[in-house]
């Protein structure tokens, strides 16, 4: 394992002796943890902020599994725990950090656990009671969430219950006394009305878990007063360790949780916050006269047809709205065009909300339109899209809400449609709530960060992650699967670590000085409107008397900004506010007005000798600059960085990653090229049969298809194709009770399909007998059907360019295009089959360096190479390898400015030489799937 263990100086409190365990290993989710009995238990010590072990390092033959802190896990966390994990949850290995948390729970240590979705928080508090045969009491905020989790546990064979369910308190207590009940859920409000019951069960409780613990903190986004009373339970459950869990918590929120729950010497375990399977996209909402027209333009284009579930947004979808009225109107409009939509908000009756929740959870409805009241209340792992129709109020809430998407680890999309009025409305709500000055400032700061996120031209994912951890570094290169801004950068080939995320920078010093001075003229007694009218010389709004009252500076400033539009100055004011140069406060003479004044940051800037102020413009400000003028007048420092016309395509100086060709992977097991390809191409048919089978079962069981067995299990069944009990037992994610329940039907379905289609079965090896497991996702998701067929024929059958062209009746140029697409995505080709030697690769690299690392054209490079060394086809493949390994500098590109065309969800970038369809002609398609993602 590769865990990073340290105390973060920003929030380490020596008086509390908090121990922080932080995991930022992006590969950690693929690690496997296994256990053997441990005879001893090491103690932990904290020395100079680093967690160490008091005993010597174990030898390779040591039987004890060490934690990332160096101590061996508790003896009970042994093979029996793995057996329990496999039996009830279907997994043969623990996910990263689960061991650390479970071990600390078994040691009766208080903990704060901040784990992002995908790390398995629920297993952390559910497993200890199954290991020790006692009871875990779980405090959870919503009955709907508790109901989902109890149902899932019962389907896995775990005895669980919740207050407010079908069971009476007497039956629950009887089940506890008999030693049967393992997990009991309760809301904070229910505890306050039943303290005597908690006293009765004290002796049976081994752990108190507080789920969604961020609700405790008034500095969080979902503060619930009832959560502040949870600490009282500790007075009743004396000696019971507490585990507080959340997916989102800034440093102030973490400290607030620790203090409020009175955690004793707590261990704080944190994962990274990155959800790599989520694609984030933000765009302005359509400005139309009617709500219906806005929805039609914004949302209806995202719909896909599905014969099983009707029109939907590519799978189960949650749409968050800002008001109950919007929820009702949007639900009705979606229903009118055939979408199976339900609404959910606090104004509905309890039975109505329960039915809406049930319909969405069981796939009777494909879309749930809701207010944020629905946020924590859904435990549905296969949500494929989360849409915010209106601006979220803060980063923390937004992260929590998009956390509903892709909890099964499969690709999912997160869309925001917003307008500037959304921010204004939320600001007015904050200012009219009569909050304390500090708390109002805190809420406005959270909203400012959200507005910055909405309008940035930089990486949106980075802004989210840096909000929770300001030590996060900006990525070195854009990733097309990250966010809309990064996807656009990828189309330009921008990968220079020095400029990525910092371009385009514009010097707004001249304009900033004017606006700052204009604001000072009004002494912080106006909003932005008056200073902007003053700068634009609006005589209708600024009377002569007011102008004269502003003195010589006022005479100089009046009309000095008329070369910019009113909208330009308004957007520029927003940019300055989002970058911390302007402060706003509630107006005392206008109900919904607010006053704008200079922040200390602006005052300090005005005092400098240099008046340069470089900022990343928002989309409107960037579009306002004349591209041609900016390029021609490259000498002008304040505009030269806005847009550049590229004439080069240069490799970065240092290698970012190493390309692994076909020799890195074991030869495919099957000796028949045709059978390998045919098997791989037939798997989608088997997937469809498995999903149909799962869907029919879900109707019979009145539950979601994903609850019958998960998408991960479907992929495992496709990989292994079990026809025997022993093979089915290997499938990850299938609990024992489910396995026994459906074994006969699954094995029969797979056996019949494979026999009818000549597909090999019981592939229990790691590669499934054909394609290495780690390549399957890239092949399936990132190659077009024709590219996939060509690549598989080459990879599995070791076919040459000539053989591939003959087999598929295509030109060698087209075949090379297909293979180049695979190579640029890191997929392995057989260089020996393509007659490309290591000497060729090194020689080409030398000549690329002589050509100033520019690979925009092949001819200059070919002229530098020894005669007859290689063909243009071979050179194109080698250059694609370099492009994968080194990346392309951000300031380099094609001869002409890239042309962008927006077609539905697809972006096309055209560049490079024409006529050959060579390595420089690339089409990037953001929307990779057109079929329904409901069950995939």
Question: Is residue 2 in a domain?
Answer: no
DSSP 268: E
Interacting residues of 223 by C-beta distance below 8 A, sequence separation 6+:
215, 216, 217
Same domain, 350 and 243: no
Give the C-alpha distances (Å, rounded to integers) separating 490 from 463, 493, 908, 928: 18, 5, 11, 15
Under the banding of pLDDT at 50, 70 and 90, the label for residue 40 is very low
pLDDT of residue 495: 41
From 426, 444, 462, give the residue that closes a domain.
444
> Is the model's pLDDT at 304 over the cut of 50?
yes
User: d(Cα 825, Cα 916) in Å, to the nearest integer?
Assistant: 21
Please choose, from the candidates 283, 369, 922, 145, the residue with its C-alpha nearest in 3D space to the C-alpha of residue 618. 283
pLDDT score of 251? 87
**What is the pLDDT, as a whole number, of residue 293?**
86
Closest by Cα among 91, 473, 71 to 272: 473
Report the helix count and the strand count for the chain, using DSSP H and E.
Answer: 37, 23
pLDDT at 666: 58
Q: How confident is the model at residue 426 (pLDDT cuts 50, 70, 90)?
A: confident
- Considering the domain architecture, whether residues 267 and 183 belong to the same structural domain is answered as yes
Smallest Cα–Cα separation from 343: which of 363, 364, 324, 315? 324
Domain contains 466: no
Mean pLDDT of the 328-344 span: 94
Asked whether residue 312 falls in the same domain as residue 438, the answer is: yes
Same domain, 305 and 163: no
Let me know whether 179 and 137 are in one domain. yes
Do 698 and 722 share a domain, yes or no?
yes
pLDDT of residue 852 exceeding 80: yes
* Cα dihedral sign, 448-453-455-459: positive
CB 533 within 8 A of CB 541: yes
Residues 180 and 94 occupy one common structural domain: yes
pLDDT at 381 over 50: yes
Residue 360 above 70 pLDDT? yes
pLDDT averaged over the chain? Answer: 78
| Count, residues in the chain | 936
Nearest to 361 by CA among 378, 345, 344: 378
Q: What pLDDT band is residue 894 in, cutting at 50, 70 and 90?
A: very low
Per the DSSP assignment, residues forming a β-bridge with 720 are none
Alpha carbon of 325 to those of 332, 341, 374: distances in Å? Answer: 11, 15, 15
| Residues 132 and 244 placed together within one structural domain of the fold | yes
Q: Compute the average pLDDT of residues 68-85.
A: 64
Give the residues across from 105 on adjacent strands: none
Kindly report which listed range (52-56, 605-609, 865-869) carries the lowest average pLDDT score. Answer: 52-56
State mean pLDDT over 864-872: 91
CB atoms within 10 A of CB 466: 17
Q: Is the dihedral of CA 381, 121, 465, 570 positive or negative?
A: positive
Model confidence band, residue 630 (pLDDT cutoffs 50, 70, 90): very low
What residues does 279 pair with on adjacent strands? 413
* CA 929/CA 904 separation, integer angstroms: 13
One domain, residues 288 and 430: yes
DSSP assigned state of 666: P
On whether the CB atoms of residues 395 and 248 are closer than 8 A, the answer is no
Is 149 a domain residue? yes
What pLDDT is stored for residue 783 in this prediction? 82
Q: Are 115 and 124 in contact (CB under 8 A)?
A: yes
Mean pLDDT of 348-371: 90
Residue 1's pLDDT is 30
Looking at residues 535-545, what average pLDDT do you find?
81
Report the C-alpha gap between 620 and 456 in whole angstroms: 11
Dihedral sign computed on CA atoms, order 490, 496, 501, 504: negative
516 confidence band (pLDDT: 50, 70, 90) = very high
**Phi and psi at residue 746, in whole multiples of 5°?**
-65, -50
**Whether residue 532 has pLDDT greater than 50:** yes
pLDDT score at 157: 92
219-228, 721-730, 764-773, 796-805: segment of lowest average pLDDT:
764-773
CATH number (domain holding residue 325): 3.40.50.300
Category of 406 on φ-ψ map: left (φ > 0), alpha (ψ -120 to 50) or beta = left
Distances (CA, A) of 174 to 149, 150, 237, 702: 21, 18, 19, 28
3-state class (DSSP) for residue 389: strand
pLDDT of residue 17 exceeding 70, the answer is no
Q: Are 884 and 826 in contact (CB under 8 A)?
A: yes
Same domain, 399 and 510: no
Is 627's pLDDT higher than 60?
no
The fraction of the chain above a pLDDT of 70, given in percent, is 78
Q: Is residue 632 part of a domain?
A: no
Which is nearest to 830 in space by CA: 655, 670, 657, 660?
660
Residues 6+ apart with CB under 8 A from 251: 8, 10, 11
**174 is in which domain, residue-wise?**
76-271
H-assigned helices in 709-837 = 711-720, 725-730, 736-757, 773-782, 785-797, 801-808, 812-824
Confidence of residue 111 (pLDDT cuts 50, 70, 90): very high
Range picked from 223-237, 662-676, 910-924 for highest mean pLDDT = 223-237
Residue 729 has pLDDT above 90, yes or no: yes
Q: What percent of the chain has pLDDT over 90?
A: 35
CA–CA separation, 905 and 413 (whole Å): 12
Residue range 110-116: average pLDDT? Answer: 94
Residues 700-720 have a mean pLDDT of 87
Alpha-carbon gap, residue 536 to 515, rounded angstroms = 11
Task: Please give the structure tokens belonging to residue 452.
Answer: 């910055």
In a domain, 164, yes or no: yes
* DSSP of 888-930: B-TT---SSPPEEEEETTEEEEE-S-SSS--TT-----S----
Domain identity same for 736 and 797: no
Residue 94 lies inside a defined structural domain of this protein:
yes
pLDDT band at 205 (very low <50, low <70, confident <90, very high): very high
The pLDDT-based confidence of 424 (bands split at 50, 70, 90) is confident
Please check whether residue 202 is in contact with residue 213, taking contact to mean a CB–CB distance below 8 angstroms. no
Check residue 641 and give its pLDDT: 34
Bigger pLDDT: 229 or 717? 717
> Alpha-carbon distance 213 to 220, whole Å?
10
Residue 278 structure tokens: 């989520």
Cβ–Cβ < 8 Å for 936, 410: yes
Q: Which pair of structure tokens corresponds to residue 680?
A: 């791989």
Structure tokens at 404: 């509903």
Q: Which pLDDT value is given to residue 900?
A: 23
Report yes or no on 107 lying in a domain: yes
Q: How confident is the model at residue 912 (pLDDT cuts 50, 70, 90)?
A: very low
Residue-level pLDDT at 593:
66
Is 877 in the same domain as 753?
no
pLDDT value of residue 13: 36
The pLDDT value recorded for residue 221 is 60
Most confident of 392-396, 529-533, 841-845, 901-905: 841-845
Binned at pLDDT 50, 70 and 90, residue 805 comes out as: confident
- 847, two tokens: 């000549």
pLDDT at 92: 86
The CATH number that applies at residue 574 is 1.10.10.10
Structure-token pair, residue 169: 């308190």
Categorize the per-residue pLDDT at 646 as very low, low, confident or very high, splitting at 50, 70 and 90.
very low
**Is residue 888 within 8 Å of residue 853, measured between CB atoms?**
no
Q: CATH no. for residue 725?
A: 1.10.150.80
Number of domains composing the chain: 5
Q: Which residue has the higher pLDDT, 572 or 117?
A: 572
Domain presence at residue 232: yes
Examine the pLDDT at 379 and tell me if it is beyond 80. no
- Quote the pLDDT of residue 172: 92
């Amino acid at each position: 394992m590769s865990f990073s263990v340290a105390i973060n100086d920003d929030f380490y409190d020596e008086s509390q002796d908090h121990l922080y365990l932080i995991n930022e290993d992006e590969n950690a989710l693929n690690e496997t943890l296994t256990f053997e009995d441990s005879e001893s238990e090491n103690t932990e010590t904290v020395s100079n902020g680093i967690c160490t072990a008091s005993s010597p390092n174990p030898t390779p033959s040591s039987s004890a599994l060490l934690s990332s802190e160096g101590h061996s896990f508790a003896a009970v966390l042994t093979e029996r725990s793995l057996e329990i994990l496999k039996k009830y949850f279907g997994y043969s290995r623990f996910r990263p950090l689960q061991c650390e948390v479970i071990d600390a729970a078994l040691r009766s240590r208080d903990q704060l656990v901040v784990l992002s979705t995908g790390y398995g928080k629920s297993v952390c508090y559910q497993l200890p009671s199954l290991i020790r045969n006692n009871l875990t009491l779980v405090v959870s905020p919503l009955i709907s969430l508790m109901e989902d989790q109890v149902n899932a546990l019962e389907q896995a064979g775990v005895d669980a219950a919740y207050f407010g369910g079908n069971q009476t308190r007497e039956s629950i207590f009887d089940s506890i006394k008999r030693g049967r009940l393992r997990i009991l859920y309760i809301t904070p409000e229910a505890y306050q009305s039943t303290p005597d019951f908690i006293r009765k069960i004290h002796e049976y409780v081994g752990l108190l878990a507080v789920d969604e613990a961020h609700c405790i903190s008034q500095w969080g986004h979902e503060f619930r007063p009832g959560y502040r009373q949870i600490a009282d339970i500790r007075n009743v459950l004396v000696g019971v360790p507490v585990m507080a869990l959340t997916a989102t918590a800034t440093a102030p929120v973490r400290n607030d949780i620790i203090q409020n729950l009175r955690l004793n010497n707590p261990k704080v375990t944190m994962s990274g916050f990155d959800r790599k399977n989520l694609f984030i996209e933000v765009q302005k909402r359509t400005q139309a006269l009617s709500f219906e027209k806005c929805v039609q333009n914004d949302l209806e284009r995202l719909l896909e047809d599905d014969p099983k579930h009707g029109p939907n947004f590519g799978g189960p979808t949650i749409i968050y709205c800002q008001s109950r009225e919007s929820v009702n109107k949007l639900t009705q409009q979606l229903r009118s065009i055939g979408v199976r939509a339900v609404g959910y908000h606090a104004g509905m009756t309890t039975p109505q909300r329960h039915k809406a929740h049930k319909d969405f959870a069981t796939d009777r409805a494909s879309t749930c339109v809701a207010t944020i009241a629905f946020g924590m209340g859904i435990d549905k792992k296969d949500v494929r899209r989360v849409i915010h129709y209106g601006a979220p109020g803060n980063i923390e809430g937004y992260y929590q809400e998009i956390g509903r998407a892709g909890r099964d680890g499969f690709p999912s999309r997160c869309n925001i449609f917003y307008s500037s009025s959304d921010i204004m409305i939320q600001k007015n709500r904050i200012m009219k709530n009569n909050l304390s000055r500090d708390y109002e400032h805190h809420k406005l700061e959270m909203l400012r960060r959200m507005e910055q996120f909405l309008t940035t031209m930089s990486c949106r994912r980075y802004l989210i992650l840096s909000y929770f951890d300001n030590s996060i570094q900006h990525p070195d290169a854009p990733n097309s699967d990250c966010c809309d801004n990064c996807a656009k950068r990828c189309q330009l080939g921008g990968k220079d670590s020095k400029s990525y995320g910092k371009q385009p920078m514009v010097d707004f010093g001249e304009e900033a000085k004017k606006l700052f001075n204009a604001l000072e003229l009004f002494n912080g007694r106006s909003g932005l409107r008056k200073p902007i009218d003053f700068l634009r010389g609006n005589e209708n709004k600024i009377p002569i008397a007011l102008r004269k009252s502003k003195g010589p500076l006022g005479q100089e400033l009046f009309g000095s900004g008329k070369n910019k539009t009113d909208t330009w100055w308004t957007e520029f004011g927003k940019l300055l506010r989002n970058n911390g140069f302007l402060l706003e406060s509630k107006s005392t003479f206008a109900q919904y007005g607010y006053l704008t004044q200079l922040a200390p940051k602006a005052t300090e800037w005005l005092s400098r000798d240099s008046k340069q102020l470089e900022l990343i413009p928002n989309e409107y400000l960037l579009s306002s600059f004349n591209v041609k003028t900016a390029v021609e007048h490259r000498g002008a420092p304040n505009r030269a960085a806005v847009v550049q016309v590229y004439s080069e395509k240069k490799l970065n100086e240092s290698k970012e990653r190493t390309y692994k060709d076909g020799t890195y992977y074991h030869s495919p097991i099957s000796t028949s090229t045709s059978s390998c390809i045919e098997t791989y191409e037939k798997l989608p048919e088997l997937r469809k049969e498995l999903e149909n089978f799962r869907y029919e079962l879900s109707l019979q069981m009145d539950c979601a298809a994903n609850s019958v067995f998960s998408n991960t299990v479907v992929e495992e069944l496709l990989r292994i194709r079990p026809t025997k009990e022993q093979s089915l037992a290997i499938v990850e994610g299938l609990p024992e009770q489910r396995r026994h329940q459906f074994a006969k039907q699954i094995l029969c379905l797979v056996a019949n399909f494979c026999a009818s289609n000549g597909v090999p079965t019981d592939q229990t090896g790691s590669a499934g007998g054909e394609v290495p497991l780690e390549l399957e996702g890239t092949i399936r998701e990132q190659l077009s059907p024709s590219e996939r067929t060509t690549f598989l024929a080459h990879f599995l059958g070791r076919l040459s360019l000539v053989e591939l062209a003959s087999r598929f009746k295509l030109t060698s140029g087209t075949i090379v295009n297909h293979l180049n697409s695979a190579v640029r995505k890191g997929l392995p080709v057989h260089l020996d089959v393509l007659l490309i030697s290591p000497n060729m690769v090194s020689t080409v690299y030398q000549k690329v360096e002589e050509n100033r690392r520019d690979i925009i054209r092949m001819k200059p490079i070919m002229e530098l190479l020894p005669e007859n060394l290689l063909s243009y086809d071979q050179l194109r493949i080698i250059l694609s390898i370099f492009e994968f390994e080194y990346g392309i500098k951000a300031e380099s590109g094609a001869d002409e400015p890239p042309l962008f065309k927006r077609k539905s969800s697809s972006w096309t970038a055209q560049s490079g030489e024409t006529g050959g369809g060579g390595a420089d002609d690339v089409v990037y398609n953001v929307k990779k799937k057109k079929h329904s993602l409901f069950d995939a």
